[in-house]
Structure 1
Amino acid sequence: MTDPALSSEAPVLVRSSHGLGHLTLNRPRALNALDLRMIGDLAAALDAWEHDPDVQIVLLDGAGDRGFCAGGDVRALYEQIRSGDPEAAGGFFRAEYALNARIAEYPKPIVVLADGVTMGGGIGLAGHAAIRIVTERSQLAMPETRIGFTPDVGGSLLLAHAPGRLGEYLALTGRTMDAADAIAVGMANHFVPSADLDGLRGALATGPGTAAERVSRFLSRSADGGRPRESGLARSRDWIDDAFSAGTVADIVDRLRARPEAAASDTAAVLGELSPTGLAVTLEAVRRARDLPDLRAALAQEYGLVLWFVTSQPDLIEGIRAQLVDKDRAPRWQPATIGELAADAAASAFAYRPRIGLWG
């Protein structure tokens, strides 16, 4: 039954009916960006429904038609760092990462509609679900390097298992994927036109079978069969795999500049604008994630890296300032260029040990 206390003003709408638990991120004017209260509300609902026989499937979506979830509250992180207590940010990341792991390990199928903008923390909600739906409006990305940061919320693991070197490419550039790209790299399962999402919601709440069977029946009636057009990323594998298999960020840039494709040259220019330290750490993180056993191990690695950036590296706060606060788009990175990167630039990040561990 629907919670009688449900309010349209709540940041997460929680209700259940006909065996379907339905969670809706409800901050459409903020593109449903996550804050700590929303993380707590989502976790509490999953806890309540885990052993509830009246809930067999969980559906997670976002209010509005512009975005499922644009990510975490980066401005709040900026203020925490500026306040002189950067480790306070650890509480947010611990709660967020616990929710990411909970979604991946949940004993009932979770279906996520990644319609519209789905970035950063939104990938942490959508990317680990059992069934991940994208639409023609979907825009997925891990754009953390744009603010001198590194992909987290399990994004390093998702990217590590993308075909070829697409993971390194997406992690370093922060490029936005459309629906076809997201399916090609393994961040989504099915394509559904946005106009058909209400029909899918109804199908999930009715009929026999598992969540996967209900989705499959719905897709079998779709003209496109749940598949979008061909992925542009897949068509670019030759130059991406060649360049992004290089050993270092500097080597990647050199290979990009040597390629004949205009897109390769453009990518080299993009990397030249980003935090050299953020790029070095991100490249190493994705490559190490390929050898990690599971999501929890990846989240633990990311947690140490994230708190290293928060406590020890000036590029994060400078990137947030330049992109989101002053919006001058002119960050002053330290070091300023890829050529100035030390050979062991990422070593101190991976050696960092947070005062409070991720899993207690």
Structure 2
Amino acid sequence: MSEQAILFSELPTRDGGRIGLATLNTPKSLNALSLAMIEPLHRKLDDWLEDEGVVAVWLEGAGDKALCAGGDIVALYKAMSDDPDTTEQFASRYFTAEYALDYRIHTYPKPLMVWGNGIVMGGGLGLMAGAPYRLATPRCRIAMPEITIGLYPDIGASWFLNRMPPGIGAYLGLTGAQLNARDALDLGLADRLIPEDQRDELLAALQEADYLERRHTDLHLTVGEVLDRFEARDRAPQGQVVPRLDHLQRLACRGSVTEAVARILADEESDDWLAANRQRLQAGCPLTAHLVWRMLERHRHSSLADAFRDELVLSVRCCTQGDFQEGVRALLIDKDKNPRWSHDSVKDVTSDAVDAMLAPLWSPEKHPLRHLGNQP
């Protein structure tokens, strides 16, 4: 009998309330985010929101290696390979559900804590980025490495990468750079640094807390006070982005993606972190580089809801006409690490090719995410 992909339980609090606990439960796949997780989690978050006895929610991943290493791209690959005629249908269902869940997390009015221990990548970052309380541990490792598989930084990244210092979001999207806990705090992807060995004590303290009159403001006040007692920023590793901020901005603050990519690849700094980023970009999908750049341009001043709506179109098109299938094949299926991208280099990608990827799939009235922004 297979295990449940996601587990739900509730912890009693001293004052008669309950803390909702959700656990992504496929540690062998590093808790890759599947529809079997996404849809029940969204329903449960809505249920816990309506339940006045639930004072807070805690989301984590099973095992000690990852919150979530990304979306279930193997399932997406299988859908693309088994029946191309149903690829758009499956991709639409998957990404619609994922982005609706991410938006629900961004707008969740009760205290929602995400335990960002270990690997937090791609779809995992979508779960963490918008939570009211993003709890990084010293072992936290964040990245959006979609350049390696022919996708692009989605899960709202078109919006939140724009809220980083100029050029940094573009650099991260183009190179798939790995960030540590200090970087997450510096760039607004985490709020707290809490040692992983304090998890059980922290949950026990949340159970013992007084949630006052149970108004949302009371709940946030209490959770914040408990988290204050456990934060240990002195345990964070040395940051990688802020110490190199001027250098990274010189590379990425350019007038075009072609120029930015050329400057990053021509960089001669003898630095292991920068070198790994260059290598990832060099081997990455040329079309993805353009999609990263274009989406950041399109959503510099947009709403989060509009970014998710635009990302849904692009993500489905990546499955039906982009390089995503080839990228997953090379990295995870055949594992030859030799993708045959549709373009030889970034400079070979035309504006028409990018425009085709962004062409609408639905009218505004029929868009699957048309209701985002209207929920409480």
TM-score over 0.5 (shorter chain): yes
Counterpart for residue 104 of structure 1: 106
Higher relative contact order (CA 8 A, sep 6+): 2
Q: Which moved more, 1:110-119 or 1:214-223?
A: 214-223
Which of 296, 300, 320 pairs up with 1:290? Answer: 300
Query: How far apart are residue 54 of structure 1 and its match?
Result: 0.8
Counterpart for residue 238 of structure 1: 246
Counterpart for residue 87 of structure 2: 86
Query: How far apart are residue 196 of structure 1 and its match?
Result: 0.8
Contact 1:204/1:211 (8 A) holds in 2: no
Which of 147, 156, 161 pairs up with 1:145? Answer: 147
Query: How far apart are residue 281 of structure 1 and its match?
Result: 0.8
Query: How far apart are residue 230 of structure 1 and its match?
Result: 4.1
Query: How far apart are residue 229 of structure 1 and its match?
Result: 4.1
Scaled by the length of structure 2, the TM-score of the pair is 0.87
Query: How far apart are residue 321 of structure 1 and its match?
Result: 0.4
* Whole-angstrom CA distance in 1 between matches of 2:126 and 2:37: 14
Pair 1:257–1:278, CA change in 2 (3 A)? closer
* Whole-angstrom CA distance in 2 between matches of 1:218 and 1:24: 21
SS at match of 1:317: helix
Which of 5, 13, 25 pairs up with 2:7? Answer: 13
Structure 1 vs Structure 2 CA RMSD: 2.2
* Whole-angstrom CA distance in 2 between matches of 1:154 and 1:178: 20
Pair 1:68–1:97, CA change in 2 (3 A)? same
Letter in 2 for 1:23: A
Letter in 1 for 2:32: A
Counterpart for residue 343 of structure 2: 335
Scaled by the length of structure 1, the TM-score of the pair is 0.91
* Whole-angstrom CA distance in 2 between matches of 1:203 and 1:226: 21
SS at match of 1:60: strand
Query: Would you say 1:250 and 2:251 are equivalent positions?
Result: no
The runs of 5 or more residues in structure 1 that have no matched partner are: 1-6
SS at match of 1:187: coil
Please give the per-residue CA displacement for 1:85-129, whole angstroms capped at 9, x wherever unaligned. 211211111111111111111221211001111111111111111
Contact 2:179/2:240 (8 A) holds in 1: no
Query: Would you say 1:167 and 2:155 are equivalent positions?
Result: no
Q: How many residues align?
A: 352
* Whole-angstrom CA distance in 2 between matches of 1:183 and 1:20: 25
* Whole-angstrom CA distance in 2 between matches of 1:214 and 1:39: 28
Contact 2:209/2:226 (8 A) holds in 1: no
Counterpart for residue 214 of structure 2: none
Which of 299, 321, 324 pairs up with 1:312? Answer: 321
Letter in 1 for 2:168: L
Which of 306, 320, 325 pairs up with 2:333? Answer: 325
Contact 2:195/2:235 (8 A) holds in 1: no
Contact 1:156/1:286 (8 A) holds in 2: yes
Letter in 1 for 2:29: A
Counterpart for residue 48 of structure 1: 47
Q: Aligned runs of 1:95-134 on 2, under 5 Å?
A: 95-134=97-136
The runs of 5 or more residues in structure 2 that have no matched partner are: 212-217, 371-376
Please give the per-residue CA displacement for 1:199-249, whole angstroms capped at 9, x wherever unaligned. 121222221354554454445445835772442111111121111111223
* Whole-angstrom CA distance in 2 between matches of 1:223 and 1:50: 26
Contact 1:308/1:352 (8 A) holds in 2: no
Q: Aligned runs of 1:253-292 on 2, under 5 Å?
A: 253-257=261-265, 259-263=267-271, 267-292=277-302
Pair 1:223–1:278, CA change in 2 (3 A)? closer
Please give the per-residue CA displacement for 1:107-163, whole angstroms capped at 9, x wherever unaligned. 212110011111111111111110000111111111111101111111222212112
Pair 1:112–1:153, CA change in 2 (3 A)? same
Query: How far apart are residue 257 of structure 1 and its match?
Result: 4.7
SS at match of 1:23: strand
Letter in 2 for 1:181: D
* Whole-angstrom CA distance in 1 between matches of 2:27 and 2:205: 25
* Whole-angstrom CA distance in 1 between matches of 2:234 and 2:296: 29
* Whole-angstrom CA distance in 2 between matches of 1:257 and 1:31: 31
SS at match of 1:133: strand
* Whole-angstrom CA distance in 1 between matches of 2:270 and 2:254: 19
* Whole-angstrom CA distance in 2 between matches of 1:34 and 1:257: 32
* Whole-angstrom CA distance in 1 between matches of 2:174 and 2:92: 24
Which of 308, 312, 335 pairs up with 1:303? Answer: 312
* Whole-angstrom CA distance in 1 between matches of 2:2 and 2:133: 26
Letter in 2 for 1:25: L
SS at match of 2:58: strand
Letter in 2 for 1:329: K
Q: Which moved more, 1:244-253 or 1:254-263?
A: 254-263
Query: How far apart are residue 71 of structure 1 and its match?
Result: 1.5
* Whole-angstrom CA distance in 2 between matches of 1:226 and 1:43: 35
